[in-house]
Structure 1
Amino acid sequence: MSPGQLQGPEKLKEVTRLVDSLDNDLSAKKLSPADKVQTLLALRQHGTNPANADPIYSDKGINLLARYGFEGETLDIRRAALRCIANALLLNKDMRQVFVDTGYAGRVAEKLKTEISDDEMILSRILFLTTYDTNIDFSVLITKHSMADNILSQVIRHAKQIPKNGRKSYSQIDELALTDTLKLVFNVAKLYPDLADSFTPLIPHLFKIINRIDIPDRQPLDGLIGYIINALSTLDLEEKPGRFESNPLFPKFNQNCNVDKLINILDAAVGVYNSEELEPRAVPLLHLLITIYEFAPEGPRKYMQWLLLPEDNDRSVPIGRSDTLSSKLLNLSTSPSVHLKTAISELMFVLSGKDADSLTKNIGYGFAAGFLASRGLQIPQDAQEAFATNSSRVSDHVNPITGQRYDAEPVDTGPPMTQEEKEREAERLFVLFERLTANGLIKAENPVAQAVREGRLEELPDDADSDLD
């Protein structure tokens, strides 16, 4: 009967026998290397379901597996034991501290200096799992066991595996190994910010990888690209003297290459995911673009503005209604997804020089007002006057409310409003304006009250014609 078919007491009895066999052989030395490998593989199979596998999920079991994982006489024995450990740490969080207490975590970090992706994957996964629910000291792993240096060697190795021309395929095991390593980098840098600088040397190589790999048609942020962006989002990207030979964000051969690839990824993502799916996936990318823009020289800044802000062509319809990336982002900025809409609005604000007036001119009052209010920023005086009087002070040819060109606005060819319709519309605008003023969103005289005061608006007499008669 195969390990997966044993259940209940029979499974527990067999797991106990296998663990005891390995334990006894530490002194008896009777099992051949092949026997040890088979025993460990059987334990791993039994351990895929923790029920009735208690001897594995115990101090004795983890310590025993750790000895075979680091002191086993062959690579196959060590690899099989480490797979058992990784499985146990994944399925039972209590075993993570048990493993840390064995004292072998440093050996895991040292073994990350390997040319075999299969081994890299399992070692990175073990360390990644210990970032949760343990008291592990990653500063010791970095300073005494070369964890950051060995991770750098892995990222460099993977960057070399991906050719510029894309003719050579990137194997699944290589991608899985790099993914686990990047998850480790993200967690350590995120949970222990003081250690994030240890991973700074990864930056140019991560950008090299992201430029060389293709953007998946489906779920562009669910695979390797997403993990690279997550890792980059935790690192300090500011160019500092002596840090790199040349700025990795804006390389001399093409200052816009990284910006271009990241915006293409964003464009692909907003075309595939809905707002709920985008929130956990795209927010790190949006924050990464914000950070890059703030460090960018003039050329890449103008390039990002050109790609991400509405262009004149977008203004043939109200802003947000075209099929461009900027319109899609602005529509997403009104979604219920709090972090997503905040990140998009922040990106537009940064692209507008963090200036409320420029933001309003770039994306229209309708999209800008909510963000400015949430930041406690006053609405630009030009926008207030435009809203109050329908003048064109914000721009000579653009409606400041909708962002549409005046010459592209539809002409009303319907019948003129009746006097009562005009009065009802004036009353509605009066109430709306009073609410905006009470909420502190605008500071200007109510245009309806102003019209009445100046004699430009009269109340209907009781005997006036009504379209409701």
Structure 2
Amino acid sequence: MGTASGPAKLQAVTDLVNKLSDDLENISLLPKDRNDALEELKIYGRDANYADPIFTKGGITMLLRYSFYDAPSETSRAALRVLANAMLLKPDTRQMFVDQGYAAQACHQLKVDNWDNEFLLSRILFLSTYGTTIDLTDLIENHQLAEHIVNNLERHVTVLSHQQEQKLDPMESMALGETLKLMFNATHFCKAKVGMFTPAISHVIALLWKQDISDAAPLEPPFGPLVNSLLNVDLHADQHQTVLFATENPNKVTSRLVHLLDKGIRAYSGNDLETVVTPVVSLLSKFYEIAPQPVRQSMQEWLLPTAQDRQGVLGRGDSLPSKVLHNSTNVTAPALRDAISHLLFDLSDKDASKFVQNVGYGFASGFLLRNNVPVPASLSATFDACDTNGAQKPVNPITGQFLDKEKFAETPEMTEEEKEREAERLFVLFERLKKTGVINVQNPVEKALHEGRFEELPDDFVEELD
């Protein structure tokens, strides 16, 4: 089944599309034969080469009719799988889905209590939010899109509460991932209706403990999508305070997010660091903005450099604050860099002087300049910070390191010959700088001559030594 390639594959796909299209007009296939034909079409449709009939208007129309005319059923799900693959591989097919008015039916079918249905319909709706004229406002207001998403998330929480009693279903986790992605896009592209997703917040928070966080890929589903789903919703409402900052353990949620950041900033690099870890930092900023003072203080203790970090130059250690600070100047991840800098500035009460004291001017300067924040007048002065024993010790304002822990390289004194070479090099550099006209600079040797402090000796001069 589905083994042909090249022109033979094209002929096989053409025959399957024609057979299934004819069956819609005059039923000629038994349910098993119909499902088998759709399964074979799905296999061929995984690679768009020599599968053109699937992606035509006729092919997509046929799949849409099977997907929604007898839903939910095995035939419907078989057609949805082919349709989801087609919409992933060929973006033009997404507008066909929208133009034929099936988005509302997809929303209606989201309420079906079936993981496969949730996975497929959420993915199709998610894909249709890119490059189409889909009306998300209409789907939310008139077709209960937000309500169905919230209810599906609640079903996942129910599964979580019975996790010890039931065997884990991989399809459940995949369905959750697609639902969360759909929620993120709906709240991102339809900001006017974000409030309709407020009831989802408590479910998303509960699902942060769905499973253990892995060391190798800590932000793979469900954690990455869970974090993303909270970025656009309004966390400020009073009714969320007990969910986000529970009375019995107000640090529970923020500590979980910090744990995700700690794992993520160590596990990922390159583009993954930029795309996967940045949302965690952004969400922590949102939490800090609304957190009660005790939680804010805990976040400062977790994320700002500690006395132990100040034993060396800040940003070079292995602690979480060091890793975070190091990435605040990461030129290969500009979004992460900016998100971290904003978070650290927030943790410093948005006070430039505190910011410099917390992270050192070397890390603070770029952010201050980019955001037109006045540089503190006391920048060059050392300040005191508590060491690991609580004693006040002076700190280098540039590096953030305790002064008594600074190490300087011991270099031997220059020989007379080395001093002469260095003087010649500086002379040449001054002359070049002078010729550029950028600044008005006078060569120190030339200045000494004019002031009579330089004696030109004859070529046959011999210095007499005592």
TM range (shorter): 0.7 to 0.9
Q: Deviations over 1:361-414 (max 9, x none)?
A: 111122111211111112211114x2xxxx558986222222112232337776
Q: Which residue of 2 aligns with 1:203?
A: 201
From 70, 73, 76, the counterpart of 1:72: 70
Distance 2:179 2:406 in 1: 53
- What is the deviation of 1:14? 3.1
Q: Which amino acid aligns with 1:116?
A: N
Identity %: 38
- Check whether the contact 1:275–1:332 (CA below 8 A) recurs between aligned residues: no
- Check whether the contact 2:384–2:394 (CA below 8 A) recurs between aligned residues: no
From 360, 366, 369, the counterpart of 1:370: 366
- What is the deviation of 1:72? 2.8
Distance 1:219 1:296 in 2: 28
Distance 2:265 2:167 in 1: 27
- Cα–Cα, structure 1 residues 295 and 17, in superposed 2: closer, same or farther, change >3 Å? same
TM-score, structure 2 length as denominator? Answer: 0.83
From 328, 353, 357, the counterpart of 1:357: 353
- Check whether the contact 2:384–2:395 (CA below 8 A) recurs between aligned residues: no
- What is the deviation of 1:460? 13
Distance 1:354 1:418 in 2: 51
- What is the deviation of 1:256? 0.4
Q: Which residue of 2 aligns with 1:265?
A: 260
Q: Which residue of 1 aligns with 2:95?
A: 97
Distance 2:25 2:409 in 1: 94
Aligned length: 420
Q: Which residue of 2 aligns with 1:3?
A: 2
From 129, 132, 135, the counterpart of 1:131: 129
Distance 2:190 2:210 in 1: 30
1:250 aligns with 2:245: yes
Q: Deviations over 1:251-282 (max 9, x none)?
A: 22311011101111111112112254311111
Matches within 5 A, 1:71-220: 71-72=69-70, 75-163=73-161, 170-220=168-218
Show structure 1 runs of 4+ deviating over 6 A: 164-169, 411-421
Q: Which amino acid aligns with 2:343?
A: L
- What is the deviation of 1:417? 8.9
Q: Which amino acid aligns with 1:25?
A: D
Q: Which residue of 2 aligns with 1:317?
A: 312
From 407, 416, 422, the counterpart of 2:404: 407
Residue aligned with 1:397, SS: strand
Q: Which amino acid aligns with 1:236?
A: D
1:397 aligns with 2:381: no
Q: Which amino acid aligns with 2:329?
A: T
Q: Which amino acid aligns with 2:2?
A: P
- Cα–Cα, structure 1 residues 393 and 308, in superposed 2: closer, same or farther, change >3 Å? closer
- Cα–Cα, structure 1 residues 27 and 373, in superposed 2: closer, same or farther, change >3 Å? closer
- Cα–Cα, structure 1 residues 359 and 31, in superposed 2: closer, same or farther, change >3 Å? same
Distance 2:369 2:414 in 1: 34
- Cα–Cα, structure 1 residues 340 and 97, in superposed 2: closer, same or farther, change >3 Å? same
Distance 1:460 1:397 in 2: 44
Give the RMSD, CA atoms, in angstroms.
2.9
- Cα–Cα, structure 1 residues 152 and 460, in superposed 2: closer, same or farther, change >3 Å? farther
- Check whether the contact 2:157–2:207 (CA below 8 A) recurs between aligned residues: yes
Residue aligned with 1:248, SS: helix
Residue aligned with 1:3, SS: coil
Distance 1:417 1:166 in 2: 73
Q: Which sections of structure 2, spanning at least 5 residues, go unmatched? A: 386-391, 431-450, 456-466
1:62 aligns with 2:88: no
Distance 2:20 2:409 in 1: 86
TM-score, structure 1 length as denominator? Answer: 0.82
Distance 2:309 2:162 in 1: 35
Q: Which amino acid aligns with 2:361?
A: Y
- What is the deviation of 1:6? 4.3
- Cα–Cα, structure 1 residues 266 and 103, in superposed 2: closer, same or farther, change >3 Å? same
Q: Which amino acid aligns with 1:288?
A: L
- What is the deviation of 1:229? 0.9
- Check whether the contact 2:357–2:383 (CA below 8 A) recurs between aligned residues: no
Range that drifts further, 94-103 or 192-201? 192-201
Residue aligned with 1:136, SS: coil
Q: Which sections of structure 1, spanning at least 5 residues, go unmatched? A: 432-458, 464-469
- Cα–Cα, structure 1 residues 402 and 58, in superposed 2: closer, same or farther, change >3 Å? same
- Check whether the contact 2:393–2:402 (CA below 8 A) recurs between aligned residues: no
- Cα–Cα, structure 1 residues 11 and 411, in superposed 2: closer, same or farther, change >3 Å? closer
- What is the deviation of 1:222? 3.0
- Cα–Cα, structure 1 residues 191 and 417, in superposed 2: closer, same or farther, change >3 Å? farther
- What is the deviation of 1:201? 1.4
